[in-house]
Chain A
Amino acid sequence: MTEGALGKTYRNGELIVRQGEEGNCMYVVQAGTLEVLREEHDGSVRIAVMNTGDIFGEMSIFEREVRSASVRALGEARVLSIDKKTFLRRIQEDPPLAFNLVKIMAHRIRMLSEEVASLKQKTAPPAARVNAQERRAGQDRRHGRDRRAGVDRRTAVVGRLRNA
Protein backbone atom coordinates (compact mmCIF):
# COMPACT_ATOMS: atom_id res chain seq x y z
CA MET A 1 0.00 0.00 0.00
CA THR A 2 1.74 3.18 -1.18
CA GLU A 3 1.49 6.86 -0.23
CA GLY A 4 -0.71 7.36 -3.28
CA ALA A 5 -3.37 5.08 -1.85
CA LEU A 6 -6.83 6.41 -1.05
CA GLY A 7 -9.30 5.15 1.54
CA LYS A 8 -8.68 3.20 4.73
CA THR A 9 -6.52 0.08 4.94
CA TYR A 10 -7.96 -3.02 6.64
CA ARG A 11 -5.94 -6.02 7.80
CA ASN A 12 -6.76 -9.61 6.91
CA GLY A 13 -9.98 -10.64 8.68
CA GLU A 14 -10.82 -7.13 9.88
CA LEU A 15 -14.53 -6.26 9.72
CA ILE A 16 -15.52 -3.26 7.61
CA VAL A 17 -19.26 -3.47 8.26
CA ARG A 18 -21.06 -5.65 10.79
CA GLN A 19 -24.44 -7.23 10.16
CA GLY A 20 -27.16 -5.61 12.31
CA GLU A 21 -25.34 -2.30 12.76
CA GLU A 22 -26.81 0.96 11.54
CA GLY A 23 -25.15 2.25 8.38
CA ASN A 24 -24.75 5.80 7.17
CA CYS A 25 -22.37 5.26 4.27
CA MET A 26 -21.55 2.98 1.37
CA TYR A 27 -18.11 1.76 0.31
CA VAL A 28 -15.98 1.36 -2.80
CA VAL A 29 -13.18 -1.25 -2.83
CA GLN A 30 -9.95 0.51 -3.86
CA ALA A 31 -7.65 -2.51 -3.62
CA GLY A 32 -7.74 -6.10 -2.37
CA THR A 33 -10.51 -8.65 -1.83
CA LEU A 34 -13.41 -8.69 0.63
CA GLU A 35 -15.95 -11.34 1.58
CA VAL A 36 -19.62 -10.75 2.37
CA LEU A 37 -20.90 -12.91 5.20
CA ARG A 38 -24.48 -13.53 6.25
CA GLU A 39 -24.63 -14.52 9.89
CA GLU A 40 -27.24 -17.21 10.58
CA HIS A 41 -28.13 -19.17 13.74
CA ASP A 42 -25.77 -22.01 12.85
CA GLY A 43 -22.82 -19.88 11.76
CA SER A 44 -21.90 -17.51 8.98
CA VAL A 45 -22.30 -18.17 5.25
CA ARG A 46 -20.18 -16.49 2.60
CA ILE A 47 -22.59 -15.00 0.07
CA ALA A 48 -20.21 -13.03 -2.15
CA VAL A 49 -16.60 -12.01 -2.76
CA MET A 50 -15.76 -8.47 -3.87
CA ASN A 51 -12.77 -7.03 -5.64
CA THR A 52 -11.33 -3.65 -6.70
CA GLY A 53 -13.99 -1.26 -7.98
CA ASP A 54 -16.93 -3.08 -6.37
CA ILE A 55 -19.44 -1.06 -4.33
CA PHE A 56 -21.19 -2.33 -1.20
CA GLY A 57 -23.38 -1.02 1.61
CA GLU A 58 -25.42 0.99 -0.87
CA MET A 59 -28.75 -0.10 0.66
CA SER A 60 -28.08 2.09 3.70
CA ILE A 61 -28.01 5.13 1.40
CA PHE A 62 -31.68 4.65 0.55
CA GLU A 63 -33.24 2.97 3.58
CA ARG A 64 -32.99 3.33 7.33
CA GLU A 65 -32.34 -0.33 7.97
CA VAL A 66 -29.47 -2.08 9.67
CA ARG A 67 -26.71 -3.74 7.64
CA SER A 68 -27.98 -6.96 6.06
CA ALA A 69 -24.59 -8.71 6.08
CA SER A 70 -21.04 -8.34 7.40
CA VAL A 71 -18.07 -7.55 5.18
CA ARG A 72 -14.50 -8.36 6.08
CA ALA A 73 -11.10 -8.17 4.42
CA LEU A 74 -9.55 -11.24 2.79
CA GLY A 75 -5.92 -10.25 3.04
CA GLU A 76 -4.97 -6.56 3.23
CA ALA A 77 -7.59 -4.38 1.54
CA ARG A 78 -8.25 -0.69 1.02
CA VAL A 79 -11.77 0.75 1.06
CA LEU A 80 -13.13 4.28 0.50
CA SER A 81 -16.36 5.27 2.24
CA ILE A 82 -19.02 7.56 0.77
CA ASP A 83 -21.23 9.40 3.29
CA LYS A 84 -24.97 9.10 2.88
CA LYS A 85 -25.49 12.82 3.51
CA THR A 86 -22.83 13.94 1.02
CA PHE A 87 -24.04 11.51 -1.63
CA LEU A 88 -27.73 12.39 -1.33
CA ARG A 89 -26.91 16.11 -1.39
CA ARG A 90 -24.91 15.67 -4.58
CA ILE A 91 -27.71 13.63 -6.17
CA GLN A 92 -29.97 16.65 -5.65
CA GLU A 93 -27.50 18.73 -7.70
CA ASP A 94 -26.69 16.05 -10.24
CA PRO A 95 -29.38 13.32 -10.44
CA PRO A 96 -27.49 11.11 -12.98
CA LEU A 97 -24.95 10.53 -10.19
CA ALA A 98 -27.32 7.81 -8.95
CA PHE A 99 -27.31 6.02 -12.33
CA ASN A 100 -24.25 3.86 -11.63
CA LEU A 101 -25.75 2.80 -8.31
CA VAL A 102 -29.10 1.92 -9.91
CA LYS A 103 -27.20 -0.15 -12.49
CA ILE A 104 -25.31 -2.01 -9.76
CA MET A 105 -28.51 -2.66 -7.78
CA ALA A 106 -30.34 -3.88 -10.90
CA HIS A 107 -27.48 -6.30 -11.59
CA ARG A 108 -27.66 -7.57 -8.00
CA ILE A 109 -31.43 -8.13 -8.26
CA ARG A 110 -30.86 -10.15 -11.44
CA MET A 111 -28.17 -12.25 -9.73
CA LEU A 112 -30.40 -12.78 -6.68
CA SER A 113 -33.32 -13.88 -8.89
CA GLU A 114 -31.09 -16.47 -10.50
CA GLU A 115 -29.90 -17.64 -7.08
CA VAL A 116 -33.48 -17.92 -5.79
CA ALA A 117 -34.54 -19.87 -8.88
CA SER A 118 -31.57 -22.19 -8.50
CA LEU A 119 -32.26 -22.75 -4.79
CA LYS A 120 -35.95 -23.39 -5.42
CA GLN A 121 -35.09 -25.96 -8.01
CA LYS A 122 -32.77 -27.75 -5.58
CA THR A 123 -35.21 -27.78 -2.66
CA ALA A 124 -38.54 -28.27 -4.50
CA PRO A 125 -40.27 -31.74 -4.37
CA PRO A 126 -39.64 -33.89 -7.50
CA ALA A 127 -43.14 -33.37 -9.00
CA ALA A 128 -42.85 -29.61 -8.70
CA ARG A 129 -39.44 -29.84 -10.36
CA VAL A 130 -40.95 -31.64 -13.33
CA ASN A 131 -43.79 -29.09 -13.56
CA ALA A 132 -41.28 -26.25 -13.42
CA GLN A 133 -39.21 -27.88 -16.14
CA GLU A 134 -42.31 -28.34 -18.29
CA ARG A 135 -43.38 -24.74 -17.78
CA ARG A 136 -39.89 -23.54 -18.75
CA ALA A 137 -39.83 -25.78 -21.81
CA GLY A 138 -43.26 -24.38 -22.80
CA GLN A 139 -41.93 -20.83 -22.44
CA ASP A 140 -38.93 -21.77 -24.57
CA ARG A 141 -41.23 -23.15 -27.26
CA ARG A 142 -43.36 -19.99 -27.21
CA HIS A 143 -40.25 -17.83 -27.56
CA GLY A 144 -38.83 -20.21 -30.16
CA ARG A 145 -35.50 -20.85 -28.41
CA ASP A 146 -33.48 -23.96 -27.59
CA ARG A 147 -36.41 -26.36 -28.08
CA ARG A 148 -34.41 -29.56 -28.35
CA ALA A 149 -32.31 -28.70 -25.35
CA GLY A 150 -35.50 -28.08 -23.34
CA VAL A 151 -36.93 -31.46 -24.30
CA ASP A 152 -33.64 -33.19 -23.68
CA ARG A 153 -33.37 -31.60 -20.23
CA ARG A 154 -36.92 -32.62 -19.34
CA THR A 155 -36.28 -36.17 -20.51
CA ALA A 156 -33.16 -36.28 -18.40
CA VAL A 157 -35.05 -35.07 -15.29
CA VAL A 158 -37.86 -37.58 -15.83
CA GLY A 159 -35.23 -40.26 -16.35
CA ARG A 160 -33.56 -39.36 -13.07
CA LEU A 161 -36.92 -39.44 -11.27
CA ARG A 162 -37.71 -42.89 -12.69
CA ASN A 163 -34.34 -44.16 -11.62
CA ALA A 164 -34.89 -42.74 -8.15
Chain B
Amino acid sequence: MQLLASEGINLPTEVVERGIDAYMLHMDVGSVRIRTPSEEKRIAGVFRGNGPRGSERALRVGFDRYLLDLAASSGAQVVRSLVTRVGWHEDRPEIEHGGGKRACYDLVALAAGVNSQLLQNGCDAAPGYSFPGTLTTFISEFHLGQAAIQASLGDAMHIFLLDLPRLEFAALIPKGDYVTLCVLGHDVDEKLVDAFLAAPEVKRCFPDSKVPELVCHCFPRLNVRPPAQPYADRLVWIGDCGVARLYKDGIGSAYRMAKAAARTAAFHGVSAQDFEAHYAPTCKAMNWDNTLARLVFMSTTAIQKLRPLRRGVLRMTATEQANREQFHHMSSVLWDVFTGSAPYQDVLVRSCHPGFIASLAWNLVAGNVAALAGKPYGNGS
Protein backbone atom coordinates (compact mmCIF):
# COMPACT_ATOMS: atom_id res chain seq x y z
CA MET B 1 0.00 0.00 0.00
CA GLN B 2 2.83 2.38 0.88
CA LEU B 3 4.58 1.93 -2.45
CA LEU B 4 1.37 2.21 -4.44
CA ALA B 5 0.60 5.42 -2.53
CA SER B 6 4.07 6.80 -3.35
CA GLU B 7 3.22 6.28 -7.03
CA GLY B 8 -0.04 8.15 -6.66
CA ILE B 9 -2.32 5.09 -6.37
CA ASN B 10 -4.37 5.54 -3.20
CA LEU B 11 -6.99 2.86 -2.58
CA PRO B 12 -10.35 4.45 -1.69
CA THR B 13 -12.34 3.19 1.29
CA GLU B 14 -14.89 1.43 -0.95
CA VAL B 15 -12.10 -0.86 -2.22
CA VAL B 16 -10.47 -1.63 1.14
CA GLU B 17 -12.68 -4.09 3.08
CA ARG B 18 -10.67 -3.52 6.24
CA GLY B 19 -7.48 -1.67 7.17
CA ILE B 20 -5.14 -3.88 9.18
CA ASP B 21 -2.93 -2.34 11.87
CA ALA B 22 -1.49 -5.43 13.58
CA TYR B 23 -0.67 -9.11 13.32
CA MET B 24 -1.68 -11.52 16.04
CA LEU B 25 0.64 -14.52 16.24
CA HIS B 26 -0.98 -17.59 17.79
CA MET B 27 0.98 -20.59 19.06
CA ASP B 28 0.10 -23.27 21.58
CA VAL B 29 2.35 -21.52 24.15
CA GLY B 30 0.48 -18.21 23.83
CA SER B 31 -0.40 -15.34 21.54
CA VAL B 32 1.28 -12.02 20.90
CA ARG B 33 0.16 -8.91 19.05
CA ILE B 34 2.69 -7.35 16.66
CA ARG B 35 1.77 -3.76 15.87
CA THR B 36 2.63 -1.92 12.67
CA PRO B 37 5.77 0.20 13.10
CA SER B 38 3.83 3.50 13.25
CA GLU B 39 0.64 1.98 14.69
CA GLU B 40 -1.25 2.83 11.53
CA LYS B 41 -3.39 0.77 9.16
CA ARG B 42 -0.94 0.00 6.38
CA ILE B 43 -2.24 -3.39 5.22
CA ALA B 44 -5.42 -3.49 3.12
CA GLY B 45 -7.82 -6.43 3.21
CA VAL B 46 -9.36 -6.51 -0.29
CA PHE B 47 -11.43 -8.85 -2.45
CA ARG B 48 -9.95 -9.48 -5.88
CA GLY B 49 -13.27 -10.08 -7.61
CA ASN B 50 -16.90 -9.97 -6.54
CA GLY B 51 -16.29 -11.27 -3.03
CA PRO B 52 -17.70 -14.43 -1.42
CA ARG B 53 -20.75 -16.20 -2.80
CA GLY B 54 -23.98 -14.39 -1.88
CA SER B 55 -22.25 -11.27 -0.60
CA GLU B 56 -24.01 -7.93 -0.94
CA ARG B 57 -21.42 -5.80 -2.66
CA ALA B 58 -23.52 -3.16 -4.35
CA LEU B 59 -21.55 -0.30 -2.80
CA ARG B 60 -18.15 -1.99 -2.88
CA VAL B 61 -15.55 -2.19 -5.62
CA GLY B 62 -13.19 -5.15 -6.12
CA PHE B 63 -9.45 -4.46 -6.14
CA ASP B 64 -8.94 -5.72 -9.71
CA ARG B 65 -11.91 -3.69 -10.97
CA TYR B 66 -10.51 -0.56 -9.35
CA LEU B 67 -7.11 -1.06 -11.03
CA LEU B 68 -8.74 -1.73 -14.40
CA ASP B 69 -10.78 1.45 -14.11
CA LEU B 70 -7.61 3.34 -13.17
CA ALA B 71 -5.84 1.95 -16.26
CA ALA B 72 -8.82 2.91 -18.42
CA SER B 73 -8.81 6.45 -16.99
CA SER B 74 -5.13 6.69 -18.02
CA GLY B 75 -5.97 5.75 -21.60
CA ALA B 76 -5.96 1.94 -21.65
CA GLN B 77 -8.67 0.29 -23.74
CA VAL B 78 -10.23 -2.39 -21.54
CA VAL B 79 -12.07 -5.25 -23.29
CA ARG B 80 -14.22 -7.08 -20.72
CA SER B 81 -14.31 -10.53 -22.26
CA LEU B 82 -13.10 -14.01 -21.33
CA VAL B 83 -9.92 -15.00 -23.18
CA THR B 84 -10.18 -18.64 -24.23
CA ARG B 85 -7.10 -19.20 -26.36
CA VAL B 86 -3.68 -17.75 -27.12
CA GLY B 87 -2.38 -18.72 -30.56
CA TRP B 88 -0.48 -17.29 -33.49
CA HIS B 89 -1.48 -15.60 -36.71
CA GLU B 90 1.53 -15.25 -39.03
CA ASP B 91 4.21 -13.78 -36.70
CA ARG B 92 1.93 -12.17 -34.13
CA PRO B 93 0.13 -13.57 -31.06
CA GLU B 94 -3.61 -13.94 -31.54
CA ILE B 95 -6.18 -13.83 -28.75
CA GLU B 96 -9.49 -15.65 -29.01
CA HIS B 97 -12.17 -14.26 -26.71
CA GLY B 98 -15.89 -13.75 -26.24
CA GLY B 99 -16.95 -16.93 -28.04
CA GLY B 100 -14.85 -16.85 -31.17
CA LYS B 101 -13.76 -13.23 -31.64
CA ARG B 102 -10.10 -12.98 -32.62
CA ALA B 103 -7.58 -10.17 -32.41
CA CYS B 104 -3.84 -9.92 -33.07
CA TYR B 105 -1.51 -7.88 -30.85
CA ASP B 106 2.13 -6.78 -30.91
CA LEU B 107 2.64 -8.07 -27.37
CA VAL B 108 0.56 -10.31 -25.10
CA ALA B 109 1.18 -10.22 -21.34
CA LEU B 110 -0.38 -13.32 -19.78
CA ALA B 111 -1.39 -12.41 -16.23
CA ALA B 112 -3.37 -15.56 -15.46
CA GLY B 113 -3.28 -17.49 -12.18
CA VAL B 114 -1.95 -21.03 -12.01
CA ASN B 115 -5.51 -22.34 -11.77
CA SER B 116 -6.50 -20.88 -15.14
CA GLN B 117 -7.19 -23.05 -18.15
CA LEU B 118 -5.66 -20.28 -20.22
CA LEU B 119 -2.25 -21.14 -18.82
CA GLN B 120 -2.29 -24.48 -20.64
CA ASN B 121 -3.05 -22.61 -23.86
CA GLY B 122 -0.17 -20.24 -23.10
CA CYS B 123 2.11 -23.28 -22.77
CA ASP B 124 1.01 -24.46 -26.21
CA ALA B 125 1.71 -21.04 -27.72
CA ALA B 126 5.32 -20.98 -26.47
CA PRO B 127 7.15 -24.32 -26.29
CA GLY B 128 9.93 -22.84 -24.11
CA TYR B 129 7.47 -22.08 -21.30
CA SER B 130 6.96 -24.72 -18.63
CA PHE B 131 4.10 -24.90 -16.13
CA PRO B 132 5.12 -23.43 -12.73
CA GLY B 133 5.50 -25.75 -9.73
CA THR B 134 2.45 -25.48 -7.49
CA LEU B 135 1.20 -26.28 -4.01
CA THR B 136 -2.41 -26.88 -3.05
CA THR B 137 -3.82 -24.43 -0.51
CA PHE B 138 -7.20 -23.97 1.15
CA ILE B 139 -9.15 -20.72 1.09
CA SER B 140 -12.57 -20.22 2.62
CA GLU B 141 -14.87 -17.45 3.81
CA PHE B 142 -16.87 -17.15 7.05
CA HIS B 143 -19.71 -14.69 7.40
CA LEU B 144 -19.60 -13.08 10.84
CA GLY B 145 -20.76 -9.49 10.36
CA GLN B 146 -18.70 -6.41 11.15
CA ALA B 147 -19.64 -6.10 14.82
CA ALA B 148 -18.70 -9.71 15.60
CA ILE B 149 -15.46 -9.38 13.62
CA GLN B 150 -14.53 -6.20 15.46
CA ALA B 151 -15.18 -7.89 18.81
CA SER B 152 -13.37 -11.15 18.08
CA LEU B 153 -10.62 -10.35 15.56
CA GLY B 154 -10.38 -6.55 15.56
CA ASP B 155 -8.25 -4.81 12.94
CA ALA B 156 -5.62 -7.53 13.05
CA MET B 157 -4.63 -10.39 10.79
CA HIS B 158 -4.31 -13.61 12.81
CA ILE B 159 -1.41 -15.94 11.99
CA PHE B 160 -1.18 -19.48 13.34
CA LEU B 161 2.07 -21.39 13.83
CA LEU B 162 0.65 -24.69 15.07
CA ASP B 163 2.41 -28.02 15.32
CA LEU B 164 0.11 -29.88 12.93
CA PRO B 165 1.51 -32.36 10.38
CA ARG B 166 1.78 -30.89 6.84
CA LEU B 167 0.76 -27.38 7.97
CA GLU B 168 3.13 -24.56 6.98
CA PHE B 169 1.07 -21.74 8.41
CA ALA B 170 -2.48 -20.40 8.31
CA ALA B 171 -4.11 -17.00 8.60
CA LEU B 172 -7.50 -15.46 9.37
CA ILE B 173 -7.97 -12.13 7.59
CA PRO B 174 -10.96 -9.89 8.41
CA LYS B 175 -12.58 -8.32 5.32
CA GLY B 176 -15.83 -6.37 5.67
CA ASP B 177 -18.55 -8.74 6.91
CA TYR B 178 -16.38 -11.78 6.17
CA VAL B 179 -13.28 -13.51 7.46
CA THR B 180 -10.99 -15.20 4.96
CA LEU B 181 -9.17 -18.34 6.08
CA CYS B 182 -6.01 -19.24 4.19
CA VAL B 183 -4.20 -22.52 4.94
CA LEU B 184 -0.77 -23.20 3.45
CA GLY B 185 0.94 -26.56 3.73
CA HIS B 186 1.90 -29.74 1.95
CA ASP B 187 -0.96 -31.66 0.32
CA VAL B 188 -3.60 -29.58 2.08
CA ASP B 189 -6.83 -31.57 2.28
CA GLU B 190 -10.06 -31.56 4.28
CA LYS B 191 -8.49 -33.67 7.02
CA LEU B 192 -5.80 -31.05 7.63
CA VAL B 193 -8.37 -28.22 7.51
CA ASP B 194 -10.61 -30.04 10.04
CA ALA B 195 -7.63 -30.59 12.35
CA PHE B 196 -6.74 -26.92 12.07
CA LEU B 197 -10.28 -25.69 12.77
CA ALA B 198 -10.49 -27.99 15.80
CA ALA B 199 -7.39 -26.43 17.40
CA PRO B 200 -8.29 -24.40 20.53
CA GLU B 201 -6.04 -21.51 19.35
CA VAL B 202 -8.24 -21.18 16.25
CA LYS B 203 -11.60 -21.62 18.00
CA ARG B 204 -10.74 -18.84 20.46
CA CYS B 205 -10.66 -16.35 17.57
CA PHE B 206 -14.36 -16.84 16.80
CA PRO B 207 -17.36 -15.60 18.84
CA ASP B 208 -18.16 -18.03 21.70
CA SER B 209 -15.20 -20.17 20.52
CA LYS B 210 -17.39 -21.73 17.84
CA VAL B 211 -16.22 -22.01 14.25
CA PRO B 212 -19.09 -20.79 12.01
CA GLU B 213 -20.28 -22.47 8.81
CA LEU B 214 -18.18 -21.91 5.71
CA VAL B 215 -19.86 -19.67 3.13
CA CYS B 216 -17.65 -20.97 0.35
CA HIS B 217 -14.32 -22.70 0.02
CA CYS B 218 -11.84 -23.95 -2.55
CA PHE B 219 -8.47 -25.67 -2.84
CA PRO B 220 -6.59 -23.38 -5.25
CA ARG B 221 -3.01 -23.92 -6.28
CA LEU B 222 -0.18 -21.51 -5.51
CA ASN B 223 3.00 -20.85 -7.49
CA VAL B 224 5.99 -22.16 -5.50
CA ARG B 225 8.47 -22.84 -8.33
CA PRO B 226 8.96 -20.55 -11.33
CA PRO B 227 8.42 -21.60 -14.94
CA ALA B 228 11.56 -22.25 -17.02
CA GLN B 229 11.25 -19.23 -19.27
CA PRO B 230 8.41 -16.80 -18.56
CA TYR B 231 8.87 -14.96 -21.85
CA ALA B 232 9.01 -15.61 -25.58
CA ASP B 233 8.84 -13.52 -28.74
CA ARG B 234 5.91 -11.11 -28.18
CA LEU B 235 4.76 -13.05 -25.08
CA VAL B 236 5.46 -12.46 -21.39
CA TRP B 237 4.05 -14.18 -18.29
CA ILE B 238 3.33 -12.05 -15.21
CA GLY B 239 2.08 -12.87 -11.72
CA ASP B 240 1.37 -16.39 -10.49
CA CYS B 241 1.87 -17.88 -13.96
CA GLY B 242 5.31 -16.25 -14.11
CA VAL B 243 7.71 -15.49 -11.29
CA ALA B 244 6.07 -14.64 -7.95
CA ARG B 245 7.32 -14.25 -4.40
CA LEU B 246 7.07 -17.37 -2.31
CA TYR B 247 3.87 -17.50 -0.21
CA LYS B 248 3.61 -13.71 0.35
CA ASP B 249 3.21 -10.38 -1.47
CA GLY B 250 1.73 -11.92 -4.62
CA ILE B 251 0.12 -8.66 -5.74
CA GLY B 252 3.24 -6.63 -4.96
CA SER B 253 5.55 -8.99 -6.82
CA ALA B 254 3.18 -9.15 -9.82
CA TYR B 255 3.18 -5.34 -9.89
CA ARG B 256 6.99 -5.18 -9.89
CA MET B 257 7.29 -7.87 -12.58
CA ALA B 258 4.67 -6.09 -14.71
CA LYS B 259 6.68 -2.87 -14.47
CA ALA B 260 9.87 -4.70 -15.48
CA ALA B 261 8.07 -6.21 -18.50
CA ALA B 262 6.57 -2.83 -19.44
CA ARG B 263 10.00 -1.14 -19.20
CA THR B 264 11.46 -3.80 -21.48
CA ALA B 265 8.69 -3.44 -24.05
CA ALA B 266 8.73 0.37 -23.98
CA PHE B 267 12.48 0.99 -24.04
CA HIS B 268 14.01 -2.10 -25.65
CA GLY B 269 11.57 -4.28 -27.57
CA VAL B 270 9.29 -7.30 -27.38
CA SER B 271 11.49 -10.09 -28.69
CA ALA B 272 12.60 -13.03 -26.54
CA GLN B 273 16.15 -11.58 -26.64
CA ASP B 274 14.90 -8.25 -25.26
CA PHE B 275 13.09 -10.00 -22.41
CA GLU B 276 16.14 -12.21 -21.79
CA ALA B 277 18.34 -9.11 -21.48
CA HIS B 278 16.02 -6.83 -19.50
CA TYR B 279 13.17 -8.85 -17.91
CA ALA B 280 15.00 -12.04 -16.95
CA PRO B 281 17.36 -10.26 -14.47
CA THR B 282 14.32 -9.15 -12.43
CA CYS B 283 12.99 -12.73 -12.55
CA LYS B 284 16.37 -14.11 -11.46
CA ALA B 285 16.62 -11.65 -8.56
CA MET B 286 13.17 -12.71 -7.33
CA ASN B 287 14.02 -16.39 -7.76
CA TRP B 288 17.21 -15.93 -5.73
CA ASP B 289 15.20 -14.21 -2.98
CA ASN B 290 12.74 -17.12 -3.05
CA THR B 291 15.65 -19.55 -2.57
CA LEU B 292 16.58 -17.62 0.58
CA ALA B 293 12.89 -17.62 1.56
CA ARG B 294 13.05 -21.40 1.84
CA LEU B 295 15.71 -20.96 4.54
CA VAL B 296 13.50 -18.41 6.32
CA PHE B 297 10.49 -20.74 6.21
CA MET B 298 12.65 -23.62 7.46
CA SER B 299 13.17 -21.56 10.61
CA THR B 300 9.43 -20.93 11.00
CA THR B 301 8.92 -24.70 10.61
CA ALA B 302 11.48 -25.22 13.39
CA ILE B 303 9.47 -22.82 15.57
CA GLN B 304 6.34 -24.86 14.84
CA LYS B 305 7.99 -28.16 15.72
CA LEU B 306 10.00 -27.19 18.82
CA ARG B 307 8.04 -26.03 21.84
CA PRO B 308 11.09 -24.59 23.72
CA LEU B 309 11.81 -22.45 20.65
CA ARG B 310 8.18 -21.28 20.55
CA ARG B 311 8.45 -20.16 24.18
CA GLY B 312 11.60 -18.17 23.38
CA VAL B 313 10.05 -16.52 20.32
CA LEU B 314 6.87 -15.65 22.23
CA ARG B 315 8.79 -14.14 25.14
CA MET B 316 11.13 -12.15 22.90
CA THR B 317 8.29 -10.75 20.77
CA ALA B 318 6.06 -9.92 23.73
CA THR B 319 8.93 -8.18 25.55
CA GLU B 320 9.70 -6.08 22.47
CA GLN B 321 6.06 -5.15 21.99
CA ALA B 322 5.77 -4.09 25.63
CA ASN B 323 8.81 -1.81 25.29
CA ARG B 324 8.53 0.78 22.52
CA GLU B 325 12.06 2.11 23.06
CA GLN B 326 13.71 -1.29 22.60
CA PHE B 327 14.88 -2.28 19.12
CA HIS B 328 12.35 -4.78 17.73
CA HIS B 329 14.56 -7.57 16.39
CA MET B 330 12.06 -10.44 16.43
CA SER B 331 8.95 -8.31 15.84
CA SER B 332 10.37 -6.75 12.67
CA VAL B 333 11.54 -10.12 11.34
CA LEU B 334 8.16 -11.78 12.01
CA TRP B 335 6.33 -8.75 10.56
CA ASP B 336 8.32 -8.93 7.32
CA VAL B 337 7.93 -12.72 7.06
CA PHE B 338 4.16 -12.55 7.46
CA THR B 339 3.57 -9.45 5.34
CA GLY B 340 6.28 -9.98 2.74
CA SER B 341 7.09 -6.27 3.00
CA ALA B 342 10.87 -6.79 2.85
CA PRO B 343 13.01 -9.02 0.63
CA TYR B 344 13.67 -12.40 2.27
CA GLN B 345 17.42 -11.74 1.96
CA ASP B 346 16.99 -8.72 4.21
CA VAL B 347 14.97 -10.81 6.70
CA LEU B 348 17.71 -13.46 6.72
CA VAL B 349 20.48 -10.91 7.28
CA ARG B 350 18.57 -9.33 10.18
CA SER B 351 17.97 -12.73 11.79
CA CYS B 352 21.75 -13.34 11.71
CA HIS B 353 22.43 -10.05 13.58
CA PRO B 354 24.36 -10.66 16.83
CA GLY B 355 21.75 -8.64 18.74
CA PHE B 356 18.98 -10.87 17.39
CA ILE B 357 20.85 -14.08 18.25
CA ALA B 358 21.85 -12.88 21.74
CA SER B 359 18.30 -11.73 22.53
CA LEU B 360 16.80 -14.97 21.25
CA ALA B 361 19.29 -17.03 23.31
CA TRP B 362 18.43 -15.07 26.45
CA ASN B 363 14.68 -15.36 25.86
CA LEU B 364 15.01 -19.08 25.13
CA VAL B 365 16.60 -19.60 28.53
CA ALA B 366 14.31 -17.20 30.41
CA GLY B 367 11.13 -18.43 28.70
CA ASN B 368 11.83 -22.09 29.31
CA VAL B 369 13.07 -21.65 32.89
CA ALA B 370 9.85 -19.76 33.64
CA ALA B 371 7.78 -22.50 31.99
CA LEU B 372 9.58 -25.23 33.98
CA ALA B 373 8.96 -23.24 37.15
CA GLY B 374 5.25 -23.24 36.31
CA LYS B 375 5.20 -19.55 35.32
CA PRO B 376 4.94 -19.46 31.54
CA TYR B 377 5.29 -16.08 29.88
CA GLY B 378 1.99 -14.22 29.88
CA ASN B 379 -0.32 -14.10 26.93
CA GLY B 380 0.86 -11.23 24.76
CA SER B 381 -2.68 -10.24 23.90
Contacts and interface: CB of A to CB of B under 8 A. Distances in A.
Interface of A: 2-8, 25-26, 28, 30-31, 52-53, 55, 80-83, 86-87, 89-90, 93-94, 96-97, 100-101
A87 to B, nearest CB: 6
Given A7-B42, A89-B343, A83 B2 contact: yes
B8 A97 contact: no
B1 A80 contact: yes
Given A8-B39, A94-B259, A3 B6 contact: no
A73 B113 CA distance: 43
B16 to A, nearest CB: 4
13 contacts: A3-B19, A4-B17, A4-B19, A6-B19, A6-B41, A53-B10, A80-B42, A81-B38, A83-B2, A87-B2, A94-B256, A96-B259, A100-B7
A100 B8 contact: yes
Nearest to A25: B38
Contact of B10 (A25, A30, A97): A30
B155 A3 contact: yes
Interface string B145-174: 010001000010000000000000000000
B187 interface: no
Most buried by B among A26, A52, A80, A81: A80
B6 A101 contact: yes
A127 B332 CA distance: 62
B79 interface: no
B41 A5 contact: yes
Contacts of A89: 342-343, 346
B6 A82 contact: yes
Interface string B1-41: 11101111011011111110000000000000000011111
B358 interface: no
Given A4-B17, A6-B11, A80-B40, A55 B6 contact: yes
Contacts of B42: 6-7, 80-81
Nearest to B11: A6
B188 interface: no
A5 B41 CA distance: 8
- Pick the 3 closest A-B CB pairs, nearest first: A8-B40, A4-B16, A4-B13
Nearest to B8: A100
B299 interface: no
B320 to A, nearest CB: 18
A80 B259 contact: no
Contacts of A7: 19, 40-42
B187 to A, nearest CB: 33
B51 to A, nearest CB: 13
A96 B263 contact: yes
A80 B256 contact: no
Contacts of B19: 3-7
B335 to A, nearest CB: 11
Given A4-B176, A93-B256, 16 more contacts: A3-B19, A4-B15, A4-B19, A5-B19, A6-B40, A6-B44, A7-B19, A8-B38, A28-B5, A31-B13, A52-B10, A80-B2, A87-B2, A96-B263, A100-B6, A100-B7
